[in-house]
């Protein structure tokens, strides 16, 4: 990390003994018959028929301004959950996350509707991310051009369900990347679209990084972690297994995954 | 989740700094960091919502358009659906069951159709409210916005749906010789109060539905019961007239919010439906229900703001 004046480092995200627990209805253990369900309902207890998944267990770290932090770990190790908790989107069971400003996840998929035209989705997605109508208007052409949707005809005025999966992914990324963020979190967003679009999106992420104070990147691609991050958090089973400079952690991680 | 129980063992793999060993809470305070995902104050929450008004409106319009975008007739269904609905109720209640008792026949059709449309407005707002959070967890877990945007947006979607139904209603009114006059303007305050009432209900059920998604299965039955008890297809006083019940009972039944808003719109639009059909203090009750549901709903929903999305 290029941090010449030790001590002048400003924290932007502090996770303090963070625990995240999901509650899942309808995935009960035990017998599935109606009488069993009824008896569970009648039985007094605080968690009737609810299974809990302890996704993040006591993670603590401090992220500083100017850092790009990679999050690695096998599937289901709690990386995406941790990101959502930092963004304040998932309530913590115990512990706290302190942040400077509003961290945002790069991604707008959930706000878009397949039955609407690309045009309306750009406006809807922009508004969902908290942009104003004027900002969206100003960036509209930029988003369309970046996505390259209109390279093969006037697709932006067609409903999104008519797009190929690659086209839809490109449009989603273009909308999501149209906004600048203080603390930016990217969840495996790099691998969308064809080769030329991947290059463009990597360049855009570098640009976003420059404007953002702190960047978190979740990825299974060790190369993109090496290229973009200077610090890595390694999560395994919801616990922080290692936290340190990229090379060090990746070396251990590759040993662990048997590569 | 208390603020003081954690001693804050901060594991930093980076070089030491003067802040090393400082508990997390103090470190956060020193650099002015705030707790992520904490609930804002009521005033700040209202301001945030106001800031998102364009999103709320765009989201409701998008939902409305998306609804019929695959149908061949497209947006024509916005008008055709309420019309068919009214036709079914007329066939069953007007012709088969003869529920028109006490109402002149040229008043009954507009009476029934108005009732169906106005009640459907409340009904679908509640049903949409139940699923507003639980059915949009993906959105809640991906983006930041005051969560009340969702139920409010769904209530607005239903309002826009109702405005389409009003086109049908005007045609039916004229067909049954209730012509536009000044009293039609009373529809505006009546519906405005109903919107507030519906939004309040949607907020209440959005919070309950986010904790207990089973409500989505239960509510249709509750709402249907409410519909039959509210005099959608019959006049409450006329129905009770020949039964041996005290007159205050009719008043109480008519003071239920659904009946109040239906009666007000009927009173405004239908020439043969005069003030004699209305319970006493009807506007006061319309206002009271709106304020009660609106305020209680908003505060109740806001109280759990930081917990939505846990699922």
Per-position DSSP letters for B71-105, written without gaps between them: SSSGGGHHHHHHHHHHHHHIIIIIIIS-TTTTS-H
Q: What is the mean pLDDT of residues A90-119?
A: 83
Please state, in angstroms and rounded to a whole number, the distance separating the CA atoms of residues A170 and A192.
7
> Which residue would you say has higher pLDDT here, B26 or A32?
B26
The minimal CB distance from B17 to the residues A6, A102, A129 is found for A6
Give the closest residue to A83 by CA, choosing from A249, A176, A218.
Answer: A218
Please state, in angstroms and rounded to a whole number, the distance separating the CA atoms of residues B174 and B161.
21
**Local structure of B212: helix, strand or coil:** coil
Residue B8 reports pLDDT greater than 50:
no
Q: For residue A8, what pLDDT band results from cuts at 50, 70 and 90?
A: low
Other Cβ atoms less than 10 A from the Cβ of B45: the count is 19
Residues constituting chain B: 311
Q: Which of A34-38, A73-77, B211-215, B305-309 has the lowest mean pLDDT?
A: A34-38
Separation of CA A249 from chain center: 21
**Local structure of B126: helix, strand or coil:** helix
3-state SS track over A144-192: HHHHCHHHHCCCCCCEHHHCCHHHHHHHHHHHHCCCCCCEEEEECCCCC
- CB-CB under 8 Å, A99 with B25: no
A64 touches chain B (CB under 8 A): yes
Phi/psi class of residue B250: alpha, beta or left (left: φ > 0; alpha: ψ in -120 to 50)?
alpha
Q: For residue A202, what pLDDT band results from cuts at 50, 70 and 90?
A: confident
Q: Tokens 């039964």 sit at which residue? A: B243
The minimal CB distance from B144 to the residues A7, A23, A130 is found for A130
> Which residue would you say has higher pLDDT here, A11 or A188?
A11
| Predicted local confidence at residue B286, as pLDDT | 94
Q: How far is CA B28 from CA A62, A136, B189, B262, in A?
A: 10, 34, 50, 54
Q: Tokens 């960036």 sit at which residue? A: A139
| Predicted local confidence at residue B32, as pLDDT | 78
pLDDT in tens, B20-35: 677 888 888 888 788 8
For residue A5, what is the nearest residue in chain B, using CA coordinates? B17
Q: What is the mean pLDDT of residues B242-249?
A: 76
Q: For residue B232, what pLDDT band results from cuts at 50, 70 and 90?
A: confident
| Predicted local confidence at residue B31, as pLDDT | 81
For residue A119, what is the nearest residue in chain B, using CA coordinates? B62
Q: At a CB cut-off of 8 Å and minimum separation 6, what does B9 contact?
A: A17, A60
| Predicted local confidence at residue B126, as pLDDT | 96
For residue A110, what is the nearest residue in chain B, using CA coordinates? B139
pLDDT in tens, A50-91: 778 888 998 999 998 888 899 998 888 888 889 888 888 888
Q: Which of B70-79, B129-138, B206-215 has the lowest mean pLDDT?
A: B70-79
The minimal CB distance from A91 to the residues B136, B144, B307 is found for B307
| Predicted local confidence at residue B201, as pLDDT | 96
- CB-CB under 8 Å, A89 with B52: no
Please state, in angstroms and rounded to a whole number, the distance separating the CA atoms of residues B198 and B121.
8
> Which residue would you say has higher pLDDT here, B248 or B281?
B281
Q: At a CB cut-off of 8 Å and minimum separation 6, what does A79 contact?
A: A71, A72, A73, A187, A218, A235
Reported as type and span, the H/E element at residue A70 is strand A68-72
| Predicted local confidence at residue B105, as pLDDT | 75
- CB-CB under 8 Å, B35 with A116: no
Query: Radius of gyration of chain A from Cα atoms?
Result: 21
- CB-CB under 8 Å, B58 with A124: yes
Q: Does the pTM of the predicted model rise above 0.90?
A: no
Alpha-helix residue ranges (DSSP H) falling in chain A: 34-42, 79-86, 118-128, 133-147, 165-176, 195-211, 222-228, 246-256
- Average pLDDT over chain B reads 85
Q: Which of A22-31, A250-259, B175-184, B253-262 has the lowest mean pLDDT?
A: A22-31
Please state, in angstroms and rounded to a whole number, the distance separating the CA atoms of residues B282 and B264.
8
| Predicted local confidence at residue A31, as pLDDT | 53
| Predicted local confidence at residue B95, as pLDDT | 79
| Predicted local confidence at residue B261, as pLDDT | 94
| Predicted local confidence at residue B223, as pLDDT | 94
| Predicted local confidence at residue A164, as pLDDT | 87
Q: Tokens 């009737």 sit at which residue? A: A48
The minimal CB distance from A116 to the residues B24, B65, B138 is found for B65
pLDDT in tens, A219-252: 888 887 888 888 999 999 989 999 999 999 999 9
* CATH number belonging to domain A11-27+64-257: 3.40.50.300
- CB-CB under 8 Å, B54 with A127: yes
Please state, in angstroms and rounded to a whole number, the distance separating the CA atoms of residues B272 and B265.
13
Residue B191 reports pLDDT greater than 50:
yes
Q: What angle do CA A22, A23, A25 make, to 5 degrees?
A: 140
| Predicted local confidence at residue A258, as pLDDT | 79
- CB-CB under 8 Å, A90 with B36: no
Please state, in angstroms and rounded to a whole number, the distance separating the CA atoms of residues B228 and B115.
11
Separation of CA A89 from chain center: 11
Please state, in angstroms and rounded to a whole number, the distance separating the CA atoms of residues A199 and A189.
12
**Local structure of B311: helix, strand or coil:** coil
| Predicted local confidence at residue B15, as pLDDT | 47
Q: At a CB cut-off of 8 Å and minimum separation 6, what does A81 contact?
A: A20, A22, A55, A56, A90, A238
Q: For residue B2, what pLDDT band results from cuts at 50, 70 and 90?
A: very low
Please state, in angstroms and rounded to a whole number, the distance separating the CA atoms of residues A212 and A232.
18
Residue A189 reports pLDDT greater than 60:
no
For the record, the structure tokens of A142 come out as 């930029």
pLDDT in tens, A108-165: 777 888 888 999 999 999 998 888 999 999 999 999 998 888 887 888 999 888 888 8
**Which chain B residues are closer than 8 Å to A112 by Cβ?**
none
Q: Which of B19, B37, B70, B137 to mutate to test the interface with A (most CBs of A within 10 A)?
A: B37
Give the closest residue to A193 by CA, choosing from A163, A219, A218.
Answer: A163
Q: For residue B154, what pLDDT band results from cuts at 50, 70 and 90?
A: very high
The minimal CB distance from A127 to the residues B31, B58, B139 is found for B58
Q: Classify residue B2 by its DSSP letter.
A: -
For residue B32, what is the nearest residue in chain A, using CA coordinates? A100
**Contact present, B106 and B176 (Cβ < 8 Å):** yes
Please state, in angstroms and rounded to a whole number, the distance separating the CA atoms of residues B165 and B84.
11
Alpha-helix residue ranges (DSSP H) falling in B176-305: 187-211, 215-229, 236-241, 247-254, 257-269, 282-302
**Which chain A residues are closer than 8 Å to B59 by Cβ?**
111, 124, 127-128
Give contacts of A 221-240 with B, CB under 8 A. 231, 240
Q: For residue A1, what pLDDT band results from cuts at 50, 70 and 90?
A: very low
**Local structure of A23: helix, strand or coil:** strand
Locate the domains of chain A by residue range: 11-27+64-257
Q: Which of A137-146, A240-249, B89-98, B285-294 has the lowest mean pLDDT?
A: B89-98
Strand bridging mode A11-25 / A50-64:
antiparallel
> Which residue would you say has higher pLDDT here, A75 or B299?
B299
> Which residue would you say has higher pLDDT here, B208 or B71?
B208
| Predicted local confidence at residue A42, as pLDDT | 62
């Amino acid at each position: 990390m290029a941090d010449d004046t030790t001590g002048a480092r400003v924290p932007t995200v502090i996770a303090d003994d963070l625990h995240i627990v999901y509650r899942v209805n309808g995935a009960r253990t035990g017998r599935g018959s109606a009488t069993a369900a009824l008896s569970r309902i009648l039985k007094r207890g605080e968690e009737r028929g609810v299974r809990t998944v302890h996704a993040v267990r006591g993670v603590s770290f401090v992220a500083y301004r100017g850092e790009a932090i990679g999050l690695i770990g096998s599937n289901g190790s709690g990386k995406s959950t941790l990101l959502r908790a930092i963004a304040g989107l998932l309530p913590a069971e115990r512990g706290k996350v302190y942040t400077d400003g509003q961290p945002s996840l790069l991604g707008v998929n959930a706000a878009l509707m397949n039955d609407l035209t690309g045009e309306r989705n750009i406006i809807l997605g922009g508004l969902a991310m908290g942009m104003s109508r004027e900002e969206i208007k100003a960036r509209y052409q930029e988003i369309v051009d970046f996505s390259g949707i209109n390279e093969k005809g006037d697709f932006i005025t067609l409903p999104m369900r008519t797009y190929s999966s690659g086209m839809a992914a490109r449009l989603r990324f273009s909308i999501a990347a149209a906004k600048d963020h203080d603390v930016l979190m990217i969840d495996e967003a790099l691998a969308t679209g064809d080769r030329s679009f991947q290059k463009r999106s990597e360049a855009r992420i570098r640009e976003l990084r420059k404007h953002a104070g702190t960047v978190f990147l979740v990825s299974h691609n060790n190369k993109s972690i090496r290229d973009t991050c200077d610090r890595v958090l390694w999560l395994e089973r919801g616990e922080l297994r290692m936290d340190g400079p990229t090379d060090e952690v990746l070396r251990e991680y590759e040993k662990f995954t048997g590569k | 989740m208390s603020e003081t129980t954690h001693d804050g063992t901060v594991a930093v793999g980076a070089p030491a700094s003067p802040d090393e060993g400082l508990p997390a809470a103090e470190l956060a305070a020193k650099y002015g960091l705030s707790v992520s995902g904490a609930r804002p104050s009521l005033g700040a929450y209202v301001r945030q919502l106001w800031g998102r008004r364009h999103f709320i409106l765009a989201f409701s319009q998008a939902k409305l358009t998306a609804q019929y975008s695959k149908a061949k007739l497209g947006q024509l269904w916005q008008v055709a659906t309420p019309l068919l609905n009214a036709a079914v109720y007329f066939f069953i209640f007007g012709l088969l069951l003869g529920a028109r008792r006490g109402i002149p026949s040229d008043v009954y059709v507009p009476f029934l159709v108005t009732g169906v449309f106005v009640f459907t407005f409340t009904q679908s707002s509640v049903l949409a409210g139940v699923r507003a959070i639980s059915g949009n967890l993906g959105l809640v877990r991906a983006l930041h916005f005051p969560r009340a945007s969702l139920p409010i947006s769904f209530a607005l979607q239903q309002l826009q749906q109702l405005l389409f139904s009003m086109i049908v209603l005007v045609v039916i009114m004229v067909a049954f010789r209730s012509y536009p006059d000044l009293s039609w303007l009373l529809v505006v305050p009546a519906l405005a109060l109903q919107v507030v009432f519906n939004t309040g209900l949607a907020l209440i059920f959005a919070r309950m539905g986010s904790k207990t998604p089973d409500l989505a299965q239960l509510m249709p039955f509750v709402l249907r019961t409410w519909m039959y008890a509210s005099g959608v297809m019959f006049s409450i006083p006329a129905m009770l007239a020949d039964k041996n019940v005290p007159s205050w009972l009719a008043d109480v039944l008519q003071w239920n919010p659904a009946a109040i808003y239906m009666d007000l719109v009927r009173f405004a639009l239908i020439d043969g439906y005069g003030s004699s059909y209305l319970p006493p203090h009807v506007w006061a009750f319309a206002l009271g229900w709106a304020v009660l549901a609106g305020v209680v709903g908003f505060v109740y929903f806001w109280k759990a703001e930081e917990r939505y999305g846990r699922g």
